[in-house]
């Protein structure tokens, strides 16, 4: 049985299911209670589970993460919401210096089942600090898992898998897709959240991306098909660890790979994917692995976001360049 819902609703329902299944699951964040969060992702959960399990916090990201670490040490499973991507940096030290390292520091005897939800990315016409893609900072940090759903179905199941993980999970939610509707099967066996997947079959070029970019890759693939080019699309889902099996298999099949992301390209998740594909599929490649990304500059004013961020046209241009080799 499937239901049609937005990604925001799917995340809401996923957290509701996790809270109903385990009384140790707590939600924490700024304005997540009666308001339901800026994007209404936690709407109705405080009314259902009470103020002791859905906590409105002060505007202090370091305090939110630090408190979550203490709660995890006491046996709880806190889920923190960072209101916008650019607001995560006051909590950066707590995340990278403490949360990511405590399990290793205690030789595995201390678990850190903390989820940090981060609405990220552009395409919403917002101002500075509200449209950034900081995932590379955390993918570089050993001890953290990183997930980013691209569909409501994945969002529903991946947030539950993140909450049941005994490792800390950075859960990056593509905010421009919060209102995207899709089918959610609540009765399925769930998904393997840390596995990449082929979402469209093709034979000539492979497009790889995550989060909001996946929808754009599918649009580009559809337009390319109208011109007679067969494009395969791979959704990363997990940014750390990355499941390279389907990506490398696709590269070996098509011989051409384009990696796309909203984040700046320098020292990024896309850079790592491109390098690894070049290493593991070298003798199958017919062209260099190409990248399409945001520019290596601070995020511009909202009216210039369409210039800064990848577009279908920029993706198709990279497809054409790959085919030209």
Per-residue pLDDT reduced to its tens digit, 252-301 = 999 999 999 999 999 999 999 999 999 999 999 999 999 999 999 999 99
For residue 274, what is the domain's CATH number?
3.40.50.920
Would you place residue 309 in the very low, low, confident or very high pLDDT band (cuts 50, 70, 90)? very high
Q: Where are the beta strands (DSSP E) in the chain?
A: 2-6, 25-29, 54-56, 77-81, 115-120, 145-147, 169-174, 181-185, 197-200, 205-209, 231-235, 238-240, 257-264, 290-294
pLDDT of residue 83: 95
Are residues 15 and 154 part of one domain? yes
Task: Residue 174: name the closest of 217, 135, 129 by CA.
Answer: 135
Q: Where are the beta strands (DSSP E) in 63-168?
A: 77-81, 115-120, 145-147
Would you place residue 7 in the very low, low, confident or very high pLDDT band (cuts 50, 70, 90)? very high
Would you place residue 166 in the very low, low, confident or very high pLDDT band (cuts 50, 70, 90)? very high
Q: Does 130 qualify as catalytic in the annotation? A: yes
Specify burial of residue 239 (Cβ count, 10 A radius: 0-12, 13-18, 19+). buried
pLDDT of residue 252: 98
Average pLDDT for residues 104-120, to the nearest whole number?
96
Average pLDDT for residues 220-232, to the nearest whole number?
97
Q: Which domain holds residue 68?
A: 2-185
pLDDT of residue 8: 98
Are residues 211 and 178 part of one domain? no
Are residues 122 and 79 part of one domain? yes
Are residues 248 and 132 part of one domain? no
Per-residue pLDDT for 1 more than 80? no
Catalytic residue among 106, 123, 129, 130: 130
| Domain count of the fold of the chain | 2
Are residues 159 and 109 part of one domain? yes
Are residues 102 and 152 part of one domain? yes
Helix, strand and coil content of the chain, in percent to the nearest 5, comes to 40, 20, 40
* Beta-carbon count within 10 A of 142 CB: 10
């Amino acid at each position: 049985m499937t239901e049609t819902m937005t990604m925001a609703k799917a995340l809401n329902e996923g957290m509701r299911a996790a809270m109903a299944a385990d009384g140790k699951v707590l939600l924490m964040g700024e304005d997540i209670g009666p308001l339901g969060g800026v994007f209404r992702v936690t709407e109705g959960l405080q009314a259902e589970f009470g103020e002791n399990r859905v906590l409105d916090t002060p505007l202090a990201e370091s305090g939110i993460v630090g408190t979550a670490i203490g709660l995890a040490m006491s046996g709880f499973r806190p889920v923190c919401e960072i209101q916008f991507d650019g607001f995560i940096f006051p909590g950066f030290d707590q995340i990278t210096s403490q949360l990511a390292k405590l399990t290793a520091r205690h030789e595995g005897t201390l678990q850190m089942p903390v989820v940090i939800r981060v609405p990220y990315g552009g395409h919403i016409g917002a101002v500075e600090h509200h449209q950034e893609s900081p995932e590379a900072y955390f993918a570089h940090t050993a001890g953290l898992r990183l997930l980013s759903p691209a569909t409501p179905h994945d969002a529903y199941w991946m947030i539950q898998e993140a909450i049941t993980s005994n490792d800390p999970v950075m859960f990056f939610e593509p905010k421009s897709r919060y209102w995207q509707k899709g089918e959610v099967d609540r009765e399925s066996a769930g998904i393997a959240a840390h596995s990449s997947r082929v979402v469209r079959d093709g034979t000539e070029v492979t497009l790889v991306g995550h989060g909001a970019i996946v929808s754009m890759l599918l649009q580009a693939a559809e337009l390319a098909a109208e011109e007679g080019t067969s494009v395969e699309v791979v959704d990363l889902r997990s940014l750390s660890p990355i499941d390279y099996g389907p990506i490398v298999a696709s590269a070996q099949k098509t011989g051409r790979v384009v990696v796309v992301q909203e984040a700046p390209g320098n020292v990024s998740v896309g850079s790592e994917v491109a390098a690894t594909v070049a290493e593991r599929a070298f003798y199958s490649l017919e062209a260099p692995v190409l990248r399409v990304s945001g520019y290596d500059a601070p995020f511009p004013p909202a009216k210039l976001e369409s210039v800064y961020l990848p577009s279908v046209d920029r993706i198709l241009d990279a497809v054409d360049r790959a085919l030209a080799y």
